[in-house]
Structure 1
Amino acid sequence: MTDPARLIASVSLGTRMTVRRRIDGGFVDALGYLRELSETECVVETRRGLVTIPLSEVTAARLVPPPPPPRAPRNPVV
């Protein structure tokens, strides 16, 4: 198991994180909440839905703080 995969395995489900994986032609990141974890893959819930990532393709992972609260509109309509 690679070091990033060990980090993923060490955190609790529901943890917000970024998981980077290798794809043809480069890399892609999944930012979201860890929802499932098995011996071979993890599932991250992103804004676009669930992303299943084989742990063998993970090249980096890091914990991410919660998103900031939504901002109030700058110019409220009167």
Structure 2
Amino acid sequence: MSDTTTPRRTVLLEEIRRTGGQWGRVRAARFNEAQGFGGNRDTARQDLRALVRRGALVQITTDGRCAYTAATAGGDR
């Protein structure tokens, strides 16, 4: 799994920052599909995890479910 910035990840991150809230793989996959990138949930999960590794998102786990939200400061390195 690569941490390379892709246009899909860039657009996804911009939307997460714009709308706020918590994002899971289903929401991310639906957004990606609406943008013409395809709606694969595994790809969305990989993108969200890659954005966490970059410091752009924070992972939140509640009751065994993962969600992601925009990092506050110092992210997107």
Q: Give the TM-score of the pair, scaled to structure 1.
A: 0.27
More strand per residue: 1 or 2?
1
More helix per residue: 1 or 2?
2
Q: Give the TM-score of the pair, scaled to structure 2.
A: 0.27
